[in-house]
């Protein structure tokens, strides 16, 4: 390595590498075989010179030397092992930029190696910056999170107002046998509360899917509600579907109270609706069990 360092100082003294210099460098590198120290030296030399002012042969030497180092060693001939892949990734990542030398080297390794570790699928700075911006767009889902939560708050307030009105009606007509209107108001409040729950589940689920896991929930994993077990979009749809089904059932119940049954057909429709509700609950229970 001492001879190589002296050679490096002499070669870069004038900032140029001609064909004779590259040939001398090739002989020094391949004299006793390529080693990691020589690979470090070669990368250091590449970073020290202006690659646009050197002989094109230097690029060929660079690719041949690093390829030989990685693919013609005794430990893993013909393939890139984990240590070699991490070494090369570190060298590329520590460079000021992903240049043509690195691109050509990876292309050569991809063609000649038995394997090509995924860690070496290195992307240029433009692609990486674009992907960072693209990943940052997930915060747009906060609009849906805050919108659903604010809507849920409004619905909870509305449902509470309906309950208060029903209680006032109850106190005013305590002795009255007519309770249908009061019952309708309580059922309406349940309907509103259920839809507010749908919005809460949607907001929390979207936050955990696109932003991050909620720390207070992670700290108490045993006490995590079943509706908060959201690991993908399908889980979110399943949780929402169950609550929406309950909303529809309550809505059906509310309308069944309002309808006046004047003949057998009306009763038949009511019975058919009840059967369909029971069937939907049965299917939901079977799906949850699976």
pLDDT of the chain, 290 residues: tens digit per residue: 557 777 777 766 666 778 888 888 888 888 888 888 888 888 888 888 777 778 889 889 999 999 999 998 888 888 898 899 899 988 888 876 778 888 889 888 988 888 888 888 877 677 778 888 888 898 999 999 999 999 999 999 999 998 898 888 878 776 666 666 777 788 788 878 888 888 888 888 888 888 887 766 555 555 556 555 666 777 677 767 777 777 787 777 777 777 777 777 877 887 888 888 888 878 777 765 55
Q: Residue 262: its pLDDT value, please?
A: 73
Quick check: 142 and 165 in contact, CB under 8 A?
no
Nearest to 62 by CA among 16, 109, 125: 109
Residues 6+ apart with CB under 8 A from 284: 241, 242, 245
Q: Residue 66: its pLDDT value, please?
A: 92
Q: Residue 147: its pLDDT value, please?
A: 93
Q: Residue 33: its pLDDT value, please?
A: 84
Q: Residue 49: its pLDDT value, please?
A: 79
Look up the pTM and report it.
0.55
Nearest to 41 by CA among 87, 5, 91: 5
Q: Residue 254: its pLDDT value, please?
A: 74
């Amino acid at each position: 390595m001492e001879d190589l360092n002296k050679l490096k100082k002499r070669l870069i003294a004038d900032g140029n590498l001609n064909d004779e210099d590259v040939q001398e460098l090739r002989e020094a590198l391949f004299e006793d075989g390529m080693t990691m120290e020589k690979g470090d030296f070669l990368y250091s030399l590449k970073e020290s010179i202006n690659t646009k002012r050197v002989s094109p042969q230097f690029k060929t030497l660079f690719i041949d030397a690093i390829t030989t180092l990685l693919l013609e060693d005794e430990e893993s001939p013909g393939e890139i092992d984990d240590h070699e892949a991490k070494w090369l990734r570190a060298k590329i990542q520590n460079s000021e930029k992903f240049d043509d030398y690195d691109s050509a080297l990876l292309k050569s390794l991809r063609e000649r190696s038995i394997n090509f570790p995924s860690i070496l699928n290195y992307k240029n700075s433009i692609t990486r910056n674009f992907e960072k911006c693209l990943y940052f767009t997930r915060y747009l889902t906060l609009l849906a999170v805050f919108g659903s939560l604010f809507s849920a708050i409004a619905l909870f307030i509305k449902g509470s107002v309906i309950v208060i009105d029903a209680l006032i009606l109850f106190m005013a007509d305590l002795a009255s046998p007519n309770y249908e209107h009061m019952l309708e108001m309580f059922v309406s409040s349940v309907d509103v509360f259920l839809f507010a729950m749908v919005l809460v589940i949607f907001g929390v689920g979207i936050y955990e899917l696109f932003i991050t896991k909620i720390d207070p929930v992670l700290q108490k994993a045993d006490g995590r509600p079943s509706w908060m077990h959201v690991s993908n979009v399908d889980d979110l749809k399943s949780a929402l579907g169950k609550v929406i089904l309950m909303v529809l059932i309550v809505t059906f119940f509310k309308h069944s109270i309002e309808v006046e049954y004047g003949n057998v057909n009306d009763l038949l429709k009511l019975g058919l609706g009840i059967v369909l509700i029971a069937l939907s609950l049965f299917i939901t229970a079977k799906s949850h069990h699976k």
